Structure 1
Amino acid sequence: MTTTESGIDRLLREARARLDRIGPQQAAAELAAGDALLVDIRPAAQREREGGFAQALVIERNVLEWRLDPLSDARIPEATGHSVRWIVACSEGYTSSLAAAALHDIGLSRATDLDGGFQAWRRAGLPVR
């Protein structure tokens, strides 16, 4: 049986099947309640071009697992345990799905991603800088 699905499309589909993805309004509510932390994984040039979230930790994708793993020597202070709710965001919600699935792989089972990414956040009229 042949398939027309590319390898990356399969990988993305499988990653998203493991996540309870959330939209901008739910993400904003979780952040406001202090129930989650938002992590912007976009590269600096993209953040400069598109703008930024008003309130997000900036951790570029290439070091994400090291910074959020609570057992890593390179962790950030907010990485206090495996139960932290991380909401990962990129520009449109593709790379963030793969990143959130990788966080699941290291034991951060509450991690998810922002469906539609920064673009959806901005379209929803939520705070940006």
Structure 2
Amino acid sequence: MSAVDELLARARRKLTRVDPAQAAALQEAGGLLVDIRYAELRERDGAIPGALIVERNELEWRLDPTGAHRAPEATGHDLPVVVICNEGYASSLAAVSLHDLGLHRATDLVGGFQSWRRSGLPVEPPPIGKELND
């Protein structure tokens, strides 16, 4: 097992990961979906309606409920947060980072945005001129 595979396995042992239906239910109940994919992927594939867009390099600053640069949606340490990357790898590491900030209910989406899309849940289309699966 590579070092990064071991890092990922350790991270995932700290999380109760969710599938797309569970993530949608958490969002419906007031939880926050956070899309950390970079702009090119969102432009290519679209986005989850209502998800907060925060690219990975800004995540901790925007989700720290005590920070000066927090997003208005970062209302407290008890907020359920589901981090979403493209395929469900980087999001696991990011969710553990949020745990380190005290967001103890943070987790990630198994399979990432691609699993959300395959499950048939709503997706906002890419901007005009962009096609799904270019």
TM-score normalised by the shorter chain: which range applies? over 0.9
What TM-score do you get using the length of structure 1 for normalisation? 0.93
Equivalence map 1:108-127=2 (5 Å): 108-127=103-122
Per the alignment, in what secondary structure is the counterpart of residue 82 of structure 1?
Answer: coil
> Which runs of no fewer than 5 residues in structure 1 stay unpaired?
none
Supply the RMSD in Å over aligned alpha carbons: 0.7
Alpha-carbon separation, structure 1, partners of 2:101 and 2:34? 16
Cα deviation, 1:46-76, whole Å, max 9, x if unaligned, reads 1111221122000000000000001111001
Q: Offset of 1:31 from its aligned partner?
A: 1.1
Identity %: 61
> Which runs of no fewer than 5 residues in structure 2 stay unpaired?
125-134
Q: Offset of 1:29 from its aligned partner?
A: 1.1
Q: Offset of 1:104 from its aligned partner?
A: 0.5
Which residue number corresponds to residue 22 of structure 2? 26
Equivalence map 1:82-121=2 (5 Å): 82-121=77-116
What TM-score do you get using the length of structure 2 for normalisation? 0.90
**Would you identify which runs of 4 or more consecutive aligned residues in structure 1 move more than 6 Å?**
none
**Matched residues, number:** 124
Q: In 1, are the aligned partners of 2:26 and 2:80 still within 8 Å (CA)? A: no
Which residue number corresponds to residue 77 of structure 1? 72
Alpha-carbon separation, structure 2, partners of 1:81 and 1:31? 16
